[in-house]
Amino acid sequence: MESRIGVVGIIVENRSNNASKVNQILTDYGNIVRGRMGLPNLSENICAISLIVEGTNEEIGAMTGKLGCLKGVKVSSTLIKKESK
């Protein structure tokens, strides 16, 4: 299977209820996450998370699909085919 590298953007609304669910999914797919940055906005109870990911379409799609099924979680991704050497 072809490997992809890309960026996944996640907006978490109702952070206090969703943070543990989002973090569990990210932990489950930790093998494809190469970098993570989160910016909480505590006064509005939301959070923005950006991920650098590397994996197959199936792996990345499974992770983003599970995140997108959570109420109040929005996900967007951009992937490119990883060039082989």
Q: Give residue 1's pLDDT.
A: 75
Kindly list the strands in the beta sheet with 33-41, ordered across the sheet, starting from the edge strand earlier in the chain.
Answer: 33-41, 46-56, 3-13, 73-81
Amino acid identity, position 79: L
Q: Give residue 82's pLDDT.
A: 77
Q: What residues does each domain of the chain span?
A: 3-80
The CATH homologous superfamily to which domain 3-80 belongs is: ACT-like. Chain A, domain 2 (3.30.70.1150)
Cα–Cα distance measured from residue 22 to residue 59, given in angstroms and rounded to the nearest whole number = 16
For 27-79, the pLDDT digits (tens) are: 999 999 999 999 999 899 999 999 999 999 999 999 999 999 999 999 999 99
pTM: predicted TM-score of the whole model, two decimal places: 0.91
Q: How far is residue 23 CA from its own chain's centroid?
A: 9
